[in-house]
Structure 1
Amino acid sequence: MNILITNDDGIMSPGIIELADRLSERHNVLVVAPDVERSATGHAITIRTPLWAKEVKVGNRMIGYAINGTPADCVKLGLLAISEIKRDLVISGINKGQNMGIDVLYSGTVSGALEGAVMDTPSIAVSSSDWSNPIYSTAADFMLEFLETFDVKKMPPFTALNINVPSVEREDLKGWRITRQSRRRYKDYFEKRKDPYGNNYYWIFGEVVEDECSLDSDFCAVKENYVSITPLHAIMTDKDYFEELKEQSKGWEKI
């Protein structure tokens, strides 16, 4: 397959290099990624400044193109401008740390995949679940094997897969589960400090609030050493509440 790879950790991050190296064994890979880390940028795109695409080499080895923008920018450029080859798949990652629960709203990694889905290209986000000790090789090996059996052409429009791989050795993975996005989130708070001039500034911190650990939730699967595979949709309408509101709003049209 012709695969476009991006991330939010930056083009020189170990995760994206590991993924590109492994997938290049069987696929034609193009790397287009941010020039610096763009974590937690969500689905932002750049509209008021130009985007630069610079070739990145280590020695004589071509790594890919570094972009002074967000992961979503990188996907747009990779699919529409940098290469004339039509891409069969977009993969965003391998991210350092998990993207589960409410993380997906903030994640540049997940947004890179969703941008691909919006642009009618099958897309996958992949993360290694440990911030302090991500084992990228396990996630890269899993993705190479997964693409041998999974038919990306059958993915529905506007849908991306969010894959979280436990940070363990490959032989310690128990398998994989199809999961739902959990309610795992953060209880945020700010620490107030002062700079040398007496001005206030703030650092944000957060404590994890975990959803009930049901078997079909993303974080529970990863916690038990299963790869979590969660389908996400770019169209965010709450269908159940949509129908409820339609019932509640009967007669409102006259107001």
Structure 2
Amino acid sequence: MKILLTNDDGVYAPGLAAMEAQLRHLGEVFVAAPATEQSGVGHSITFLTPLVCKRVMRQDRSAAWAVEGSPADSVKLAIAELCPWRPDLVVSGINNGLNAGINVLYSGTVAAAIEGAFFGVTSCAVSLEYDPDADFQAAAVVARNVIGGIVDRPAASGGLFNINIPTAATLRSAEVRVVPMGLAHYGDRYEKRQDPGGRDYYWAVWNAPEKPPQDGTDVTELREGRVTVTPLQFDLTRRQLAADMQDWNLRS
């Protein structure tokens, strides 16, 4: 199997190195990742400036391509130009922090997997619950096992999958649940501050949802210490509403 590996934490991130070591049990791995951390950039693409990249050697003396752009840039450039072969699988991660619930919409990690799926390649985003002492090695073993189970299924071909691993799953065996993403709205508050020059600025403040998250979603299953897998799609069309709107007789 030919595997393209990327992330949004940067080409030197420990989660990337741990994932690469485990993916080598599944096949040949080519690494192309952002040169610097790109967390929260979503699906941004570089259009207005040149996209610079270079081959680098990391601490373990393994080679990778460092891309001066976003995670989606890294996948697009790798598949179009850098990879010596077309990948059978794209993996993005391991991200240092979960990408569950509505965070999926902001995540550079997930966006890189979406870009792979754009190309018709089976793609998986992998994220680990944030911990200053996160065990990426154990998380990579979990991720490899889950990814191996996904790619063995013909129905997964060309699909897009979001995998989240709680800290508890790196300490002991954990169940894997296939669940939808949570849709609870949160994180809409800002704290107003002033800099030394007296200018106002705003700092985003995380706040819990006003309503408890719905049971049976990635958010709630992760709280119970279970690994979650969510099959995603990038087609945003509300097809039933589009069909109903044919009778609206809209005019310009």
TM-score by length of 2: 0.90
| Structure 2 match to 1:119 | 119
Q: CA deviation at 1:131?
A: 4.6
In 2: Cα distance, 1:35 partner to 1:26 partner: 25
Cα-to-partner distance string for 1:30-52 (whole Å, 9 max, x where unaligned): 11111111000000000011112
Q: What aligned pairs does 1:1-255 form with structure 2 within 5 A after superposition? A: 1-58=1-58, 61-150=61-150, 151=152, 153-155=154-156, 157=158, 159-170=159-170, 172-209=172-209, 211-215=212-216, 217-243=217-243, 245-246=244-245, 250-253=247-250
Is residue 88–residue 121 contact of structure 1 (8 Å, CA) maintained in 2? yes
Q: CA deviation at 1:187?
A: 3.3
In 1: Cα distance, 2:180 partner to 2:119 partner: 23
Is residue 169–residue 227 contact of structure 2 (8 Å, CA) maintained in 1? no
| Cα separation, partners in 2 of 1:187 and 1:59, compared to 1, 3 Å | closer
**Structure 1 residue runs without a partner (length 5+):** none
Cα-to-partner distance string for 1:209-252 (whole Å, 9 max, x where unaligned): 2653423x111111112110001101011234434x42xx6252
SS in 1 for 2:22: helix
Q: CA deviation at 1:164?
A: 0.4
Is residue 173–residue 225 contact of structure 1 (8 Å, CA) maintained in 2? no
Runs of 4 or more consecutive aligned structure 1 residues displaced over 6 Å after TM superposition: none
Cα-to-partner distance string for 1:16-69 (whole Å, 9 max, x where unaligned): 111011212342111111111100000000001111221221357124111100
1:155 counterpart letter in structure 2: A
In 1: Cα distance, 2:229 partner to 2:45 partner: 26
| Cα separation, partners in 2 of 1:175 and 1:36, compared to 1, 3 Å | same
Q: CA RMSD in A?
A: 2.1
| Cα separation, partners in 2 of 1:61 and 1:181, compared to 1, 3 Å | same
TM-score by length of 1: 0.89
In 2: Cα distance, 1:79 partner to 1:152 partner: 23
| Cα separation, partners in 2 of 1:56 and 1:238, compared to 1, 3 Å | same
Is residue 135–residue 169 contact of structure 1 (8 Å, CA) maintained in 2? no
In 2: Cα distance, 1:19 partner to 1:251 partner: 50
Is residue 138–residue 167 contact of structure 1 (8 Å, CA) maintained in 2? no
| Cα separation, partners in 2 of 1:214 and 1:12, compared to 1, 3 Å | same
**Structure 2 residue runs without a partner (length 5+):** none
In 2: Cα distance, 1:176 partner to 1:183 partner: 20
| Cα separation, partners in 2 of 1:15 and 1:254, compared to 1, 3 Å | closer
SS in 2 for 1:102: helix
Is residue 100–residue 164 contact of structure 2 (8 Å, CA) maintained in 1? yes
In 2: Cα distance, 1:103 partner to 1:251 partner: 34
Is residue 7–residue 112 contact of structure 1 (8 Å, CA) maintained in 2? yes
Moved more, 15-24 or 168-177: 168-177
Moved more, 233-242 or 15-24: 233-242
In 1: Cα distance, 2:191 partner to 2:171 partner: 42
